[in-house]
Amino acid sequence: MFDNFDKNTIQHRNNVQIVGEGSKTLMLAHGFGCDQNMWRFLTPYLEDNYQVILFDYVGCGKSDFNAFNKSRYSSLEGYAQDILDICQAFELKDIIFVGHSVSSIIGMLASLKKPTYFAKLAMVCPSPCFLNLPPDYLGGFEKDDLVELINLMDKNYIGWANFLAPLVMGQKNDAELIEELESSFCSTDPNFAKPFAKATFFSDYRKELNEVTHPSLIIQSTDDSLASVDIGHYMQNEMPAAELAIIEAHGHCLHMTKPQEVMECLKDFI
């Protein structure tokens, strides 16, 4: 199935949805444990002026779970191939890619492999590496703590979701949004979530940053437990054509908690 780029096949596999109209095409890519529905706060600002491509990675949302291959999806490159498959099947080019969290890096990997599909990259709360690797880099987490977090998925999956959701969404944000994210985590099959979690939290793509030639926008939150403002500055310094926008906010999901502010950043960038 991975070599079949028929539009209908890929549309079913990745639950591809297209909304809006416009001369420019934006592709929105969700983060770990989420699906395309998380973009619903931002899409109303986009669909009047742009064609917007929404999708679910295999193993997430309403994708075709039968297409899941543990070997492929044990690394972020496997998720990047989902993006490239969609671009090929739908004959996309010069897209403005908008990725949340780990999808920022997934989109970066896709753009390095097939640059002509992309015009610009926008990264919402990105991090190239979540690990603390002193003395040169502090990603925010010790390896032992992340190993314990992954092990909790096996021991107590509900407890893992209960712990992670407020950390990601930000405890000062709307309780309903925290509950929604927790529900999204819980509804994702652990057989799919665990490989994605390991690929997300233990990867290190810092050295790829300076290979990115597309104009890039990094949008960071002032108070984000997963990706600090310092990481935003680090990425901006490492990427040849990057600009940094900082939004006064709590949490890691700016596209849900501050969609209007994110849209203002995107509008200027586009």
**Positions marked active-site:** 101, 224, 252
Task: Map tokens 């939290």 to a residue.
Answer: 201
Q: How far apart are CA 156 and CA 178, in angstroms?
A: 19
Strand residue runs (E) in the chain: 17-19, 25-29, 51-54, 95-100, 118-124, 132-133, 137-138, 216-223, 242-250
Tokens found for residue 201: 């939290």
**99 near 124, Cβ under 8 Å?**
yes
How buried is 253 (Cβ within 10 angstroms: 0-12 exposed, 13-18 middle, 19+ buried)?
buried
Tally of helices (H runs) and strands (E runs) in the chain: 11, 9
Task: Map tokens 């199935």 to a residue.
Answer: 1
Query: 111: how many CB neighbours lie within 10 A of its CB?
Result: 25
Task: Map tokens 């991975």 to a residue.
Answer: 2
H-helix or E-strand spanning residue 127 = none
Looking at residue 109, what DSSP letter applies? Answer: H
Comparing CA positions, the residue from 212, 217, 226 lying closest to residue 26 is: 217
